[in-house]
Structure 1
Amino acid sequence: MNKPSNVPLKFSFHFNWKAAVTIGIAVYALLSLGFWQLDRAEQKRIQQQTIDDRLSDKPTPIEELDLSEDSPPEFSRVLLEGEYLTNRSVFLVNKFYQGQPGYEVFTAFRLKSTARTVIISRGWTTAGRSLNELPNIDTPEGPVSITGTIHVPATRSFFIEQEIAGMNWPLRLHHLSIEKLASRLESPVFPFSVRLDRDSKGILRPNWSTVDTHAERSISYAWQWFGMAGTLLLLTLVRSTNISDWLRSMRDHSESHP
Structure 2
Amino acid sequence: MKQKSFNPGIKVTIFFIFFSILFFFLGLWQIERGQNKQEVIDLFDSSIKAKPSIFNKDSYKWQRVYTNGSFDESQQILIDNVIYRGRVGFKVFTPLRIQNDARLLLVDRGWIAKGSLREDIPDISIGNSFNELSGLLVQPELGFVLSDDLISELWPKISQTQSLDYLSKAYNNELYPFILVAEPTYKDSLTYMEVIPTNMLPVKHYGYALQWFTMFLVLCGMYIYFGLKNKTYEK
- State the TM-score, normalizing by the size of structure 2: 0.78
SS of 2:65's equivalent in the other structure is strand
| 1:65-144 equivalent positions in 2, closer than 5 A | 65-66=57-58, 73-112=60-99, 114=101, 116-137=103-124, 139=126, 142-144=129-131
What is the distance in 2 between the residues matched to 1:171 and 1:126? 16
Q: Provide structure 2 residue ranges, at least 5 long, that are not aligned to the other structure.
A: 230-235
What is the distance in 2 between the residues matched to 1:62 and 1:121? 15
Residue 45 of structure 2 aligns with which residue? 52
Residue 24 of structure 2 aligns with which residue? 31
SS of 1:95's equivalent in the other structure is strand
Report sequence identity in percent. Answer: 21
Of 193, 217, 237, the match for 2:179: 193
The change in CA–CA distance for 1:160 and 1:240 in structure 2 (over 3 A counts) is same
The change in CA–CA distance for 1:170 and 1:237 in structure 2 (over 3 A counts) is closer
Higher RCO structure (Cα 8 Å, ≥6 apart) = 2
SS of 1:198's equivalent in the other structure is coil
The change in CA–CA distance for 1:219 and 1:111 in structure 2 (over 3 A counts) is same
**Aligned length in residues:** 222
The change in CA–CA distance for 1:94 and 1:53 in structure 2 (over 3 A counts) is same
The change in CA–CA distance for 1:129 and 1:58 in structure 2 (over 3 A counts) is same
Cα offset, 1:119, TM superposition? 1.2
The change in CA–CA distance for 1:194 and 1:209 in structure 2 (over 3 A counts) is closer
Residue 232 of structure 2 aligns with which residue? none
Cα offset, 1:214, TM superposition? 2.2
The change in CA–CA distance for 1:96 and 1:16 in structure 2 (over 3 A counts) is closer
SS of 2:171's equivalent in the other structure is helix
Cα offset, 1:42, TM superposition? 2.2
- State the TM-score, normalizing by the size of structure 1: 0.72
The change in CA–CA distance for 1:100 and 1:29 in structure 2 (over 3 A counts) is closer
Q: Provide structure 1 residue ranges, at least 5 long, that are not aligned to the other structure.
A: 4-9, 68-72, 243-258
Is 1:15 matched up with 2:11?
no
Q: Which amino acid aligns with 2:32?
A: D
Of 218, 224, 246, the match for 2:211: 224
Q: Which amino acid aligns with 1:231?
A: V
SS of 1:202's equivalent in the other structure is coil
101-110 vs 79-88, which deviates more? Answer: 79-88
In our comparison, the structure showing a higher alpha carbon Rg is: 1
Cα offset, 1:50, TM superposition? 2.5
SS of 1:134's equivalent in the other structure is coil
What is the distance in 2 between the residues matched to 1:173 and 1:23? 48
Cα offset, 1:208, TM superposition? 4.7
Is 1:181 matched up with 2:174?
no
